[in-house]
Structure 1
Amino acid sequence: MATYRRRTRIAAPIDRVWAFHSTVDGLLELTPEWMNMRIEAVEGPDGERDPDVLTTGSRIRMSIRPFGVVPRQRWISRIVEREPDGNAPAEGSAYFVDDMVDGPFRTWEHTHAFYADGDETVLVDTVEYRLPFGALGDAAGTFAKVGFEGMFRDRHRRTAERFEAE
């Protein structure tokens, strides 16, 4: 399985960065326009529609059409781990993991980790993935990092700018 990782220091305390990343609004704000993402449905673990906080068991049904040139691709994401869970504030460190239930990859597991460092937060995104197409996809896995780099660089830049503007 191939791995992509990106780390950025954010000039804001962990509780604020964590709260922002724990919502669908955060996902929408951080996703680059060129991904042409549409959120079609969000469901909490108890079936609640459009929960305020994405907790363990939440699902997001979305679609993407990168650069508007490929056919629209369905993507269903599920929060499989979250610490602290619920509305508890983050102290020291926090993380959540989402996986792809249905979508364009053979496997996709994305860990969003947050570490307090004084009044700042270190944000670390780690994605473990397998491309479709069997051995051919496995061979091309490292090349997918080129595509991830632009998206995650943009997401991290947007996060930093959002909190610097406050």
Structure 2
Amino acid sequence: MKLILRTHVNRTFQQVWKGFDETLFRRLSPPFPPVRVVRFEGCRKGDTVELELDFLLFKQRWTSVITEQQSTNAEIFFIDEGVKLPFFLSYWQHRHRIIKDGEHAVIADEIEFRTPFLLTNFLFYPLLYAQFLYRKPIYRKIFS
């Protein structure tokens, strides 16, 4: 399944790119499930991000690797792909795009995911949408 959210911010796309760091990553984490950052190497090709999600009764590890990162005069993007996912996901690819929009930028979260079962893809879609919708006001506040 695919999920796309776009957020307009009042910074240049280069300024936004400079702000994509561990501090921003921690601020973007929603309240549930609580997330502990085990390892954050960055947003460049080859970097690894490892998380521990706490679902109160059990914990799940999530490890993603940045498989691509490119910059042009109009956009900067990087792609993280899940290599170790929680049991409820079987595939994860998240393209983070920072797009030039005049003197400002648009942050686009483009996610492709799969769960082990077709039906749960549809059940997880609104949950993941809400998790990423949570980011919009944070992006606007940080990059205003």
TM-score greater than 0.5 by the shorter chain: yes
Asked which structure has the greater CA Rg, the reply is 1
Q: Distance in 2 between matches of 1:143 and 1:73?
A: 19
TM-score, normalized by length of structure 2? 0.90
Q: Does 1:146 align with 2:134?
A: no
Q: Say what the alpha-carbon RMSD is for the aligned residues.
A: 1.6
Q: Shift of the alpha carbon at 1:58?
A: 0.5
Change (3 A) 1:111 1:70: farther
Q: Shift of the alpha carbon at 1:42?
A: 3.2
Q: 1:56 aligns with which of 35, 45, 62?
A: 45
Q: Shift of the alpha carbon at 1:97?
A: 0.3
Q: Which runs of 5+ in 1 are unaligned?
A: 44-52, 85-89
Please identify which structure carries the higher strand content: 2
Q: How many residue pairs align between the two structures?
A: 142
**Letter of the 1:79 counterpart:** I
Q: Is the 8 A contact 1:108 1:130 kept in 2?
A: yes
Q: Is the 8 A contact 2:7 2:139 kept in 1?
A: no
Q: Distance in 2 between matches of 1:140 and 1:96?
A: 27
Q: Is the 8 A contact 1:95 1:111 kept in 2?
A: yes
- Hey, what does 2:5 align to over in structure 1? 6
Q: Which runs of 5+ in 2 are unaligned?
A: none
| % identity of equivalent residues | 23
**Letter of the 1:25 counterpart:** T
Report the 3-state secondary structure (helix = DSSP H, G, I; strand = E; otherwise coil) of the residue aligned with 2:99.
strand
Q: Which runs of 4+ in 1 moved over 6 A?
A: none
